[in-house]
């Protein structure tokens, strides 16, 4: 028997979901909700949308917030909007903060959170997501395309 082949894991190094919607015409929470849908933080039809409130709280805040302060403000925001208090457990708030950090929109400074570098979201997206994450992902997909083309050369007839 030969040497057993090592199977690589199917765990992605990075993952990015982008969706195109109509031009923005919404305001407030609904605008942030559509942004979350657009960048894959929220799935279409998902009723568990506390990430929207976490993001909104950080966008509205002029100061850095601890996860406990984010949680308190999320509760206030959801009560004000008449939304059910679902997904507000401290562990879930921290998980949503991590998801926002993974997209480079939020950064952790000591034990507080803020919009990264006090920068605009469009600048953060262009610098971190579009240039870095998307560029690196597209390059890697192209490497796979080239490897498959090399492994399975085209044998198609030209008409």
Q: Are 102 and 128 in contact (CB under 8 A)?
A: no
Where in the chain are the domains? 19-117, 119-153
If one compares 52 and 9, the residue with the highest pLDDT of the two is 52
What pLDDT band is residue 158 in, cutting at 50, 70 and 90? low
Burial 67-104 (b: 16+ CB within 10 A, else e): beebbebbeebbeeeebeeebbeeebbeebbebbeebb
Give one word for 86, left, alpha or beta, with left for phi > 0 and alpha for psi -120 to 50: beta
pLDDT of residue 156: 66
Q: How far is CA 95 from CA 102, 112, 128, 147, 157, in A?
A: 10, 14, 20, 36, 52
Segment 129-153 shows an average pLDDT of: 93
What pLDDT band is residue 118 in, cutting at 50, 70 and 90? very high
CA distance linking residue 75 with residue 93, whole number of Å: 11
CA distance linking residue 63 with residue 59, whole number of Å: 10
pLDDT reading at 78 higher than 60: yes
Tell me, rounded to whole angstroms, the distance of Cα 113 from its chain centroid. Answer: 16
pLDDT reading at 37 higher than 70: yes
Segment 11-19 shows an average pLDDT of: 89
Percent of the chain's residues with pLDDT above 90: 81
CATH number of the domain located at residue range(s) 19-117 in this protein: 1.10.10.10
pLDDT of residue 8: 66
Q: What is the CA radius of gyration of the chain?
A: 20
| Sole residue written with tokens 């949308």 | 49
The whole-chain average pLDDT of the chain stands at 92
For 65-77, write each residue's pLDDT tens digit.
999 999 999 999 9
pLDDT reading at 122 higher than 70: yes
């Amino acid at each position: 028997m030969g040497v057993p082949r090592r199977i690589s894991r199917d765990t992605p190094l990075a993952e990015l979901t982008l969706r195109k919607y109509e031009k923005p015409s919404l305001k407030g929470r609904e605008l942030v909700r559509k942004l979350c849908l657009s960048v894959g933080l929220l799935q279409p039809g998902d009723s568990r949308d506390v990430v929207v409130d976490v993001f909104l709280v950080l966008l509205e805040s002029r100061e850095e917030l601890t996860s406990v302060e984010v949680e308190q403000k999320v509760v206030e925001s959801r009560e004000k909007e008449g939304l059910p208090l679902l997904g507000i457990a401290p562990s879930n708030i921290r998980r949503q903060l991590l998801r926002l950090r993974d997209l480079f929109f939020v950064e952790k400074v000591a034990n507080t959170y803020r919009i990264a570098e006090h920068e605009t979201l469009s600048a953060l997206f262009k610098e971190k997501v579009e240039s870095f994450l998307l560029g690196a992902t597209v390059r890697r997909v192209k490497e796979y395309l080239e490897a498959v083309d090399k492994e399975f050369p085209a044998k198609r007839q030209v008409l």
